[in-house]
Structure 1
Amino acid sequence: MSREFPIGLTPPDWLVRNLRPQRAPVNRAAAARAAVALSLPLAVGLARGQPAYGALASMGALFAVISDTADAYRMRILNIAVPQLFGAIGIMIGAAVFGHGWTAVVTVTVVALVSGMISSIGAVASVTGLLLLINCVIGAGLPLPGAWWLAPLLMSGGGLLVLALTLLAWPLRSGVPERSSVADTYRTVADLLAAGGTDDYERLRLTVTQSLNESYDLVLARRAFHHGRSPDLVRLLAQLNAVTPVVEAAPAAHQRGDPLPAEIPAAVRLLADTVETGGTGPLELRLPDPADETGRAVDHALRHAAAVVTDRSPDPGTLDDRLGRPAALRVRAARATHDVLLSAASWRYGTRLALCIGLGQVLVSTVEVPRSYWVALTITFVMKPDYGSVFSRALLRALGTVAGLVVAAAVLTVVPRGWWDVPVLMVLGALVPALTPRGYGYQTAAITPVILLLSDILNHQGTGLVVPRLVDSLIGCAIALVAGYLLWPESWHARVGDRLADAVADTADHVELAFGEAVEPGARARSRRRLYRDLSSIRTEFQRALTEPPPNGRRAAAWMPLVVAVERIVDATTAARVRVRQGAAAPSAAEISTVARQLRELSEGLRRTDVLFAVRTDLTGPADSVLEPVRQEVAAARAIASPH
């Protein structure tokens, strides 16, 4: 017999969402690399009679393991090597002001400002800013052994060891991550086509969008390293572009309400296998005869994809990058500099981080807190911009630290210091990449005992580290919550509809572009890809807001159906465009203008208010028009915005 919580004891939804682990497979290769990279430097240090040196190198390896989040090898070089360089600079700055009182406070605060500003640029810059500040805090809070240059050298050496282990398989697997990603995209499209007319369609459409985003990011990121066109990358990009018409046909197939014949998703899976193996021979798709205009669209898209997938040398002159070709390094560097120096978001985040770090440094300078660097470390991890909500991170950091301290206390109590630390570090190190995909709290629980064990090797405090670390973590979380969250109205009075309003306005533009005359076909595809990418990002932002307590969480929950409704409008527009391409009558300019106007009215209404509002839903038009499903979805979206 099932038991239910009494009403007063039922945990709130936002807390349940925070504590629910994410499903993710264990990356065994990453776990093995982490185990070797963290334990090997310590073993060398012990063998040479310098365990402290080994601990510093292992600490550098730990931060490199955290940074190793990319799949493509070239991107992994950037993700690991660039942060290590800035980490070396950070620890030199921190060590230079160690023990200098208020000079150290001011210096670390300025570094926090710089770190926060560069962290807002992108993924690599975020890790770079994180490591710059972390190492500066460690250098300013810990007495480091050896000359001024030794600690940066050892920590960078540990990070480069992770990079070396990561690149061991590059000669054998060059291009494999990109090719596997494109093949996986084809497989998600096959699942989407198989789910047409069923309740699973919406979930799988999101999976396709995410897979397309990841594949384009991987392929175009690799393109950024080539001054000319690489034949392999040209072929991958052509194969990725070729699946777009199949994706566009999926909404039309779903609108029919009946599942497609099993031969169609099977054909897409055959294409996926061909992409993954690099095959070029002729394919026998065995497609059924199309019965209607939707069937003809699917059939045409699949035959076109098959021709592209098996083409060994597609013409680069006709290649459309969909998301645009990567800019030259010089151009991207100029953009990054502009974003750092002139972006309001960059200054705002840098100021928030500097304020929190400054308060933490002032507190530990005026109040006796042993090994006080842990306060600033906690603030740094909690305030990292791409880890999600500050509130959620503070909560999960506290819970994860408690769990990690339990493990650390057991290790420090039971395991004697010395060579026994090496196998223990192997096990704990492997847990870091294994638990990180489960969520931020799980990552914290994995990292905490590793840092404490390495800190004990440097400072020999044993279990005396455990309670102070818990107090420091709670202080850091409290500072981040107050100075980095509650004091900023944008945190808890955030207008969660702003980005959604932009997406609705872009949807209006897309409707006009989809049925406009003399429009380049590639422009329609690029518009659709960017719109789906933006909507995917917005959905992620709303899901993060759901992990916060009221009012943000409650508001996000109320508005989430509207996000889904806008996605359905884009789907309906795509399906209508497919029908027109297969011979259906195009909508009139007046119909298009009416739908676009209604969407822009909805966008302006969302932009003006923090709550759902009343709107008219008087969309009318010819019942047999291809735009009728679009009008129905727009009316449904406006009805969601007007619940009363």
Structure 2
Amino acid sequence: MATRPSRGLHWGALFRVDPGRPAIGTGLRVAAAITVPLAIGLGAGHLTMGAAISLGALNVAMVDSGGPERTRVAVLSTATVVNAGVFALGIVAAHTLGLAVPLMFAVAFAGGLLTVYGRVASIVGFVTTVVYTLGLGFPPGQLTAPEALWLALVGGAWAMILALGLWPLRPYAAAQNAVAACYVAVGRMVAGACAPGTSAATTGRASRSARDALGTAHATLRATRFGRDGESAPGRILAALTESAGVLLEVSEGLAEDLIDRGRLGSTATLVREVGEHMGRSLRSVGSAVRAGGPSDLTSTEAAVSDLSEVVGKLRAEVSRGAGDATELAALRPVISSFRHLMNEAGEAAALAAGLHGGALGPSARRLVEPAGAVVDGTRRRGRADPWVVLTRNLTFDSVAFRHALRYATVTAIGVLLFLGLDLPKGYWVALTIAVILKPFAGITLQRTLLRIGGTILGALLAVAITASVRSDWGTVLVMVPLAIVGFSLQPFNYGLWVIFFTPLVILTTEVAHPGQWTLAGWRIADTLIGAALALAGSYLLWPESSRPTARRELVTAVTANRAYFCAVMRRYVWPGPTTEGLGGPHRAAALAADNVEADLQQLLGERPRGGDLVARYWRLVGSNRGVYGALTALESHLRTFTGRHRLPGLPELCHGLDAALGDLASALGADRPPAPLPALDAALAAVRDHLAEVELARAGERAAVPAGPGGRPADTDCTPLVEELRDESLVAVEAERLVRRVTAMHSALAGG
């Protein structure tokens, strides 16, 4: 996969703001969280206590990243308690070098390893590390450990009141609107393509409009996710919804092509138009559900597709007797297949939209958005991963999270040893700088280092200017309001500008009660430079990683692991003796590889916030890889009820082709070359579809031939061989089709299509 050369880093990046609307609400909320306790403390004559409460509120406010209220309550409550504990621990440990250093290692290692549980947990881990260093650096003798504990708890509670009651956070609102627009555009395209008299030019314009909406959704979601150290549930759901919209658009374009020669449909053209209208309305309702919540209306579309399927089944029976129109049947087959694809994908999108607004995700939707570790050895625990299993799976040097946690802990501990051992003035800024800028990959660490150094120097000078010109404590508190509003409003768009405003904010908060401390601003700059040097040394010397080569290497590993998992699962369907025994190893390997490649995507977004061809391709590859993994977990679960007494024609050939395709994709990624043409997957997939259609038709005939039972209902025929065959083969056919779509999407992304 060819990549464009990096344009390098330059100091202009310090002031460059990426497109987007500033998060003014977040800035106002943080400003209130910090300044209100300071003002109360100042008025009550206990400014030190007010400063401790403000620090507690600031650190808890930084953890809030939006999402369902129940999740936010749990996260903010946990952060409040944990941060209060480590702040008090830092106050106690600051007096003993032998205690402060190992505790720093333990806190930082735990904080770094929390990235295995997703974005929210990674933020909690990062803020916990920062709070401990602030405890180490808090002016000695000002607070006892119990005082620090309860003051930080009060600050966290104040931040929770603001976040949950007064200032609800909606960081994904712009992304929701952009993704919703995709479904609306695709819905209009489907309805237009099925309407009589629609020209190819009109359909083409609708297709381009939908593709533009999809591109906007990708760009908006990239901007939303940029700068985040991990991924949250809303982010994963929106990413899955965007990928689903892409699949819907591709299927809709195929449907439009099948409907170009509308005259071949004969008497069913009206029914096709009605199904298209229902499908369009359903997709638009999914868009509304993504944007604002509420149910998606799929019922009428399901009935319309079912009616069309029944018509196709009758026509197939007539053609088999020599009485029907074979031309009409040939024209209808791809159309009904496309409608079924659209219906299945719309159902998954509707479930995802419900989950985005706090509803329950169905099993199929959960497979698309849960971290790969959510299914271990084929066992699903209430839809969530066993935390202990996820943790132990990552306690290996093969895990990106483990290597980063060990590096993070080692370098921060060295920073604490240095500043306490040498008694550096304001030396806690050494460890604070390391905690903020050290990232899993060398490239993003270098970028953060340069922005951190430049921002800290300018921010420290700004703090000097403020404290030199503002002589009253009340004036200092008032100046902190615009600093917080501007800094946190711009944080999603430029890390350097955020540091410029965040630095004086922390200086003024920690030392507003200690006049004269601002004269040590020069030491802060020196400590920042020392911390930056240690962070860079650790990044390049301790298990160095750069996200670009690592991204490709991890993706090769993920595709290879999925291929091995695919072979292990599918041989149970092709040969007798279905069993899940022996699938644990391939499953775990594929899960770990999927975790790592998702982490690499997040880091690549950080290194290339403006996106570009590399990020767009990698996004599609990672999303499709996740889809392959999800399909395989469904097929593994189905093995528990699969009898193995029925053979699905075309499946062996399809498995052989998919195996060859996955192998070539891994090879092409590793060799940085275009992939070879795909094997003939469509022919094998058509054989699977045709056989399943024949079984469905035979089952319909079986039900029709059974005399009516009591009450006029058909007698029970739920235990016949045809029923058993449908139960065996229906899910296999659906997931096989999904595998083909995902592998085709990976091939297209790698080939530059």
| Structure 2 partner of 1:161 | 158
| Structure 2 partner of 1:602 | 664
Give the deviation of 1:339 after TM superposition.
Answer: 5.6
- Structure 2: gaps of 5 or more residues: 190-205, 260-272, 309-331, 368-373, 375-379, 579-590, 631-647, 687-736
Using the alignment, how far apart are the partners of 1:310 and 1:218 within structure 2? 10
| Structure 1 partner of 2:642 | none
Q: Is 1:34 the counterpart of 2:96 in the alignment?
A: no
Distance 1:336 1:45, change over 3 A: farther
| Structure 2 partner of 1:84 | 80
Q: Is the 8 A contact 1:184 1:272 kept in 2?
A: no
| Superimposed CA distance per residue, residues 26-67 of structure 1 (whole angstroms, 9 cap, x where no aligned partner) | 344333322221111111111111212111111111111211
Give the deviation of 1:451 after TM superposition.
Answer: 0.3
Q: Is the 8 A contact 1:619 1:635 kept in 2?
A: no
Over the residues paired in the alignment, what is the CA RMSD in angstroms? 5.7
| Structure 1 partner of 2:444 | 389
Using the alignment, how far apart are the partners of 2:284 and 2:29 within structure 1? 32
| Structure 2 partner of 1:117 | 113
Using the alignment, how far apart are the partners of 1:102 and 1:310 within structure 2? 52
Distance 1:337 1:456, change over 3 A: same
1:98 to 94, 97, 101: 94
| Structure 1 partner of 2:672 | 612
| Structure 1 partner of 2:534 | 479
| Structure 2 partner of 1:5 | none
Q: Secondary structure at the match of 1:89?
A: helix
Using the alignment, how far apart are the partners of 1:248 and 1:37 within structure 2? 44
Q: Secondary structure at the match of 1:482?
A: helix
| Structure 1 partner of 2:377 | none
Q: How does 1:215-614 map to 2 (within 5 A)?
A: 217-218=233-234, 248-255=247-254, 268-273=283-288, 276=292, 278=294, 292=335, 296=339, 319-320=362-363, 322-323=365-366, 327=381, 332-335=386-389, 338=392, 345=399, 347-367=402-422, 369-383=424-438, 389-491=444-546, 494-505=549-560, 539-544=601-606, 546=608, 561=617, 564=620, 588-589=650-651, 592-605=654-667, 609=670, 612-613=672-673
Q: Is the 8 A contact 1:396 1:441 kept in 2?
A: yes
Give the deviation of 1:449 after TM superposition.
Answer: 1.4
Q: Is 1:12 the counterpart of 2:23 in the alignment?
A: no
| Superimposed CA distance per residue, residues 233-288 of structure 1 (whole angstroms, 9 cap, x where no aligned partner) | xxxx9xx9999987643212245788999987676445544673747999999x9x
Give the deviation of 1:490 after TM superposition.
Answer: 3.3
Using the alignment, how far apart are the partners of 1:295 and 1:330 within structure 2? 33
Using the alignment, how far apart are the partners of 1:26 and 1:366 within structure 2? 42
Q: Is 1:64 the counterpart of 2:63 in the alignment?
A: no
1:46 to 25, 42, 47: 42
Give the deviation of 1:485 after TM superposition.
Answer: 3.1
Amino acid at match of 1:45: G
Distance 1:597 1:327, change over 3 A: closer
Q: Secondary structure at the match of 1:23?
A: coil
Using the alignment, how far apart are the partners of 1:420 and 1:209 within structure 2? 40
Q: Is the 8 A contact 1:242 1:304 kept in 2?
A: no
Using the alignment, how far apart are the partners of 1:330 and 1:245 within structure 2? 22
Distance 1:374 1:217, change over 3 A: same
Using the alignment, how far apart are the partners of 1:401 and 1:48 within structure 2? 32
Distance 1:421 1:109, change over 3 A: same
Give the deviation of 1:448 after TM superposition.
Answer: 1.0
After alignment, is 615-624 or 391-400 more displaced?
Answer: 615-624
- Structure 1: gaps of 5 or more residues: 1-9, 222-236, 520-529, 575-585
Using the alignment, how far apart are the partners of 2:122 and 2:594 within structure 1? 24
Amino acid at match of 1:196: S
Distance 1:141 1:61, change over 3 A: same
Using the alignment, how far apart are the partners of 1:306 and 1:565 within structure 2? 20
Amino acid at match of 1:86: V
Amino acid at match of 2:667: G
Using the alignment, how far apart are the partners of 2:411 and 2:46 within structure 1? 36
Q: Is the 8 A contact 2:403 2:543 kept in 1?
A: no
Give the deviation of 1:109 after TM superposition.
Answer: 3.5
Using the alignment, how far apart are the partners of 2:476 and 2:615 within structure 1? 51
After alignment, is 405-414 or 492-501 more displaced?
Answer: 492-501
| Superimposed CA distance per residue, residues 360-382 of structure 1 (whole angstroms, 9 cap, x where no aligned partner) | 22332454531111111111111
| Superimposed CA distance per residue, residues 163-192 of structure 1 (whole angstroms, 9 cap, x where no aligned partner) | 01222259xx89x99999978754442245
Distance 1:56 1:247, change over 3 A: same
| Structure 2 partner of 1:146 | 143
The structure with the largest alpha-carbon Rg is: 2
Using the alignment, how far apart are the partners of 2:471 and 2:624 within structure 1? 60
Distance 1:339 1:460, change over 3 A: farther
| Superimposed CA distance per residue, residues 378-414 of structure 1 (whole angstroms, 9 cap, x where no aligned partner) | 1111125599932222222223223423432332222
Using the alignment, how far apart are the partners of 2:419 and 2:346 within structure 1? 67
After alignment, is 140-149 or 52-61 more displaced?
Answer: 140-149
Q: Is 1:196 the counterpart of 2:207 in the alignment?
A: yes
Q: Is the 8 A contact 2:33 2:54 kept in 1?
A: yes
After alignment, is 188-197 or 257-266 more displaced?
Answer: 257-266
Using the alignment, how far apart are the partners of 1:120 and 1:481 within structure 2? 23
Amino acid at match of 2:539: G
Distance 1:539 1:399, change over 3 A: same
Amino acid at match of 2:252: A
Q: Secondary structure at the match of 1:200?
A: helix
Q: Is the 8 A contact 2:658 2:681 kept in 1?
A: no
Percent identity, aligned pairs only, is 21
Using the alignment, how far apart are the partners of 1:455 and 1:421 within structure 2? 12
Using the alignment, how far apart are the partners of 1:114 and 1:304 within structure 2? 39
After alignment, is 208-217 or 387-396 more displaced?
Answer: 208-217
Using the alignment, how far apart are the partners of 1:308 and 1:114 within structure 2? 34
Give the deviation of 1:545 after TM superposition.
Answer: 5.0
Distance 1:317 1:366, change over 3 A: closer
Q: Secondary structure at the match of 1:42?
A: helix
Amino acid at match of 1:485: Y
Give the deviation of 1:452 after TM superposition.
Answer: 1.0
Distance 1:307 1:437, change over 3 A: closer
Distance 1:517 1:217, change over 3 A: farther
Using the alignment, how far apart are the partners of 1:330 and 1:310 within structure 2? 19
Give the deviation of 1:453 after TM superposition.
Answer: 0.8
Q: Is the 8 A contact 2:111 2:126 kept in 1?
A: yes
Using the alignment, how far apart are the partners of 1:308 and 1:547 within structure 2? 30
How many residues end up aligned between the 2 structures? 576
After alignment, is 484-493 or 389-398 more displaced?
Answer: 484-493
Distance 1:377 1:322, change over 3 A: same
Give the deviation of 1:599 after TM superposition.
Answer: 2.5
Q: Is the 8 A contact 2:87 2:132 kept in 1?
A: yes
Q: Secondary structure at the match of 1:99?
A: coil
Q: Is the 8 A contact 2:180 2:286 kept in 1?
A: yes
Distance 1:412 1:278, change over 3 A: same
Distance 1:38 1:386, change over 3 A: farther
